[in-house]
Amino acid sequence: MTTTARAVHQVRRPHGMPVPEDFTQVEIELPSLAPDMALVENMAFSVDPYMRECMDEDWDLGAPLEGRTIGRVLESRTPELAVGDLVFHRNAWCTHTVVAASETRVLPRYEGVGPESFLGLLGGTGLTAYVALTRIAPVRGGETVFISAAAGGVGTAAGQFARLMGAGRVVGSAGSAAKVGRLTGELGFDAAFDYRSGPIGEQLAKAAPDGVDIYVDNVGGEHLEAAIGAMREFGRIAWCGAIAQYNAATPPPAPRNLFDLVGKSIRLEGFLVANNRDAQGELEDFVVPHLRSGALTENLSVTEGFDRSVDAFIGMLKGENTGKAIVRLTDG
């Protein structure tokens, strides 16, 4: 049995944008296998915006970190996990881990669908977009959907899902002209804009001249204010992220037009994907056929190698990824 693993630990609290010195790589001793446990070699793990908030207080310093991870069972002392099974767990930022059967999910095998999709469209990223557009702000045929951080993991998923669910117009914001071009040229967005190139409200008004029915908010701040301003009556906002404030010394002010929610009868609802895990089966039923047919594109921004885990995380926070950011440890 493998007895040691490499792991990344956080060693200090960041001030603003994290830097490599906030982390260290260590070698850890793995516990011996007890009954109901298995040894897993991690194949890939996800780096996500929510992790920035975890760094402030949720993650203990000098301790194992967490995150969505897929791996292969190398040894097992539980009948629920067989050697060779591909599993999902949350013991991330390490090369190997010992897990209990209760902490894992054996991944189904779908012909033509790679296991890394369970970190993307079939994982928490896809589930966030799916819940936003089915439970929080359901898409009705012909409606206009606006998505902020549209070139990220949740954004690229939400844009494609909205189109397949019958949206009439899909609009996105991103952080560069290259990302804007990819949204409209490859991912089926009808319009997109670089939020750094001018006032967000003005650019959104041009991209959605007839107004917005649904807003999937990954950013908060000025984006939320602009979306409220562009909303039609009875619009819906599904709020799942606030990238604008994760590294800010002080949170951005609340939208100045917040009371327009009342005048326009707009519904704004925040949600956590963790409270909607019962939708996983629905997600797979929806996504798998479209992945197989080519109607959906899996957008993974892959950083190769465990030694570049911190680079991948910081790069994701800086917007260097297009699509879901993952770290690939093995070739699978």
CATH no. for residue 99? Answer: 3.90.180.10
Segments in the chain below pLDDT 50: none
Please report whether residue 219 resides in a domain.
Answer: yes
In whole angstroms, what is the distance from residue 277 CA to residue 42 CA? 22
Please report whether residue 284 resides in a domain.
Answer: no
Buried b / exposed e across 99-130, counting CB within 10 Å, b at 16+?
bebebbeebeebeebebbbbbbbbbbbbbbbb
Task: Identify whether residues 225 and 195 lie together within a single domain.
Answer: yes
Please report whether residue 171 resides in a domain.
Answer: yes
Please report whether residue 223 resides in a domain.
Answer: yes
Strand partners, 94: 7
Task: Identify whether residues 104 and 141 lie together within a single domain.
Answer: no
Task: Identify whether residues 216 and 190 lie together within a single domain.
Answer: yes
Please report whether residue 290 resides in a domain.
Answer: no
Task: For the beta carbon of residue 278, count every other beta carbon within 10 angstroms.
Answer: 8
pLDDT tens sequence across 102-158? 999 999 999 999 999 999 999 999 999 999 999 999 999 999 999 999 999 999 999
Q: Which of 189, 192, 185 is nearest to 168 (CA)?
A: 189
Task: Identify whether residues 162 and 43 lie together within a single domain.
Answer: no
How many domains is the chain built from? 2
Task: Identify whether residues 135 and 200 lie together within a single domain.
Answer: yes
Task: Identify whether residues 112 and 132 lie together within a single domain.
Answer: no
Task: Identify whether residues 264 and 324 lie together within a single domain.
Answer: no
Residue pair 239/219 in contact (Cβ under 8 Å)? The answer is no
Say what the pTM is.
Answer: 0.94
Q: Phi and psi for 39 in degrees, rounded to 5?
A: -95, 130
Please report whether residue 281 resides in a domain.
Answer: no
| Helix H or strand E encompassing 4 | strand 4-10
Domain residue limits at 37: 4-117+298-328
pLDDT for the residue numbered 124: 95
Given 259, 274, 289, the domain boundary residue is 274
Task: For the beta carbon of residue 16, count every other beta carbon within 10 angstroms.
Answer: 9
Task: Identify whether residues 105 and 155 lie together within a single domain.
Answer: no
pLDDT for the residue numbered 139: 97
Task: Identify whether residues 142 and 187 lie together within a single domain.
Answer: yes
pLDDT tens sequence across 61-101? 999 999 999 999 999 999 999 999 999 999 999 999 999 99
Q: Which of 173, 185, 177 is nearest to 241 (CA)?
A: 173
Q: What is the CATH number of the domain that holds 172?
A: 3.40.50.720
Task: Identify whether residues 107 and 129 lie together within a single domain.
Answer: no
Range 83-89 contact pairs with CB under 8 angstroms and sequence separation of 24 or more: 86/43, 86/115, 87/38, 87/40, 88/118, 88/123, 89/40
Task: Identify whether residues 50 and 137 lie together within a single domain.
Answer: no
In whole angstroms, what is the distance from residue 319 CA to residue 218 CA? 13
Please report whether residue 158 resides in a domain.
Answer: yes
pLDDT for the residue numbered 332: 59
In whole angstroms, what is the distance from residue 55 CA to residue 23 CA? 10
Please report whether residue 155 resides in a domain.
Answer: yes
Instruction: Tell me how many degrees the CA angle 226-231-232 measures, rounded to the nearest 5.
Output: 160
| Helix H or strand E encompassing 177 | helix 177-185
Task: Identify whether residues 40 and 73 lie together within a single domain.
Answer: yes
pLDDT for the residue numbered 290: 97
